[in-house]
Amino acid sequence: MAGPVFGRRERATEASVVVLDRDRLLVEAARRDPTQFDALYRKYLAQVYAYAIYELGDHHSAEDASERIFLRALAALPRFREQARPEDGPEASTFRVWLFRIARNVVANERRSRRRRPAASLEAALGAGLAIPDGTDIEADAVTRDEASHALRALNALPDDRRRALTLRFVDEMTTAEIAAVLGRSEGAVRVLIHRALGAVARDLGRDRGTATPADELGGTP
């Protein structure tokens, strides 16, 4: 197995080699033996599927897209090159970024071929998965579901690039740097994109509730 090549600070401290891609071992194993790709698949299936369902709005399309994404990733794995930078930190996973770039393209093709937005079916597709009610307070659960429903509508009302950035940030819990790599933009541009998207969602949530702003609904935030 090839040794880590990133994060090697200097010869004197060669012992403190930093492995930047947290998936490096799994990727190396899958490259040697493609049947080992299963570990990467199991690790990222939920993230990829969740991204696809928020983008496409129904389970069947999300399953088809997920299938294509993983088949393409496995087929292209021999040509994957790690590009982590020391400043990306120990949690960086360039494999995840690479996988989501494949996902972005598969989903974009699917959306383009359908020529429609998923707004109508996303809420129904997510169904009982909308937020997680705690089950002990029926009134609070109803508020939670109502809030989730408003949030999904607000998300779907966003332009594509803003919606995609928010989905990657909140659903897939990516850092701004990772989102920038997936979307092919600078980190600063992604930060501004997310900030504007949040502003639009805040206004939308405020409109849905009449005069009350989301801050009022949540009991006010300092």
Partner 1 sequence: MTGEPEVDALVADRYLDALLAAVDRHADDTPADAALDPDLRAAARVLRASLVRVHPSFRFEERLAGRLAALAAAQSRPALAAAGGGPGTISAFPGSGPSPLDADPLLAAILLGELDPTDEAAVLHAGAALPGPGARRPLIVGGAITSAAISLVGVAYVAWRASRPTVGRSNRAMARAARAARARRAAGALSSIVGGHGGPA
Euclidean distance between CA atoms 41 and 35, whole angstroms: 11
In the list 129, 140, 159, 186, the residue contacting partner 1 (rule: CB under 8 A) is 129
Using the contact rule CB under 8 A, the part of the chain among 2-10, 15-23, 83-91, 142-150 near partner 1 is 142-150
Three-class SS state of 95: helix
Under rule CB under 8 A, residue 209 binds partner 1: no
Q: Could you say which residues in the range 18-77 bind partner 1, by CB under 8 A? A: 33-38, 41-42, 45-47, 49-50, 53-54, 59, 62-64, 66-68, 70-76
Minimum CB separation of residue 120 from partner 1 in Å reads 17
The piece of 5-13, 15-23, 87-95, 173-181 that touches partner 1 (CB under 8 A) is 173-181
Burial 24-59 (b: 16+ CB within 10 A, else e): bebbbbbeeeeeebeebbeebeebbbbbbbbbbbbb
- Give residue for tokens 């494949």: 102
The residue with tokens 């399953």 is 63
User: In angstroms, what is the minimal distance from the CB of 117 to partner 1?
Assistant: 17
What DSSP state is assigned to residue 89?
Answer: -
Binding to partner 1 (CB under 8 A) within 82-121 occurs at: 98, 101-102, 104-106, 108-109, 112-113
Q: Give the contacts of 129 (CB within 8 A, at least 6 positions apart).
A: none
Span 143-162, contacts to partner 1 by CB under 8 A = 144, 147-148, 150-152, 155
Choose between 26 and 152: whose C-beta lies nearer to partner 1: 152
User: For residue 201, what are its two tokens?
Assistant: 């969602």
CB of 106 to partner 1, least distance (A): 8
Structure tokens at 171: 């659903």
- By CB under 8 A, how many residues form the interface with partner 1? 82
Instruction: Provide the minimum distance between the beta carbon of 14 and partner 1 in the complex, in angstroms, as a whole number.
Output: 32
State in angstroms the smallest separation of the CB of 16 from partner 1.
25
Binding of residue 139 to partner 1 (CB under 8 A): no
Residue 123 has a CB neighbour count (10 Å cut-off) of 16
Task: Report CA Rg, the chain.
Answer: 20
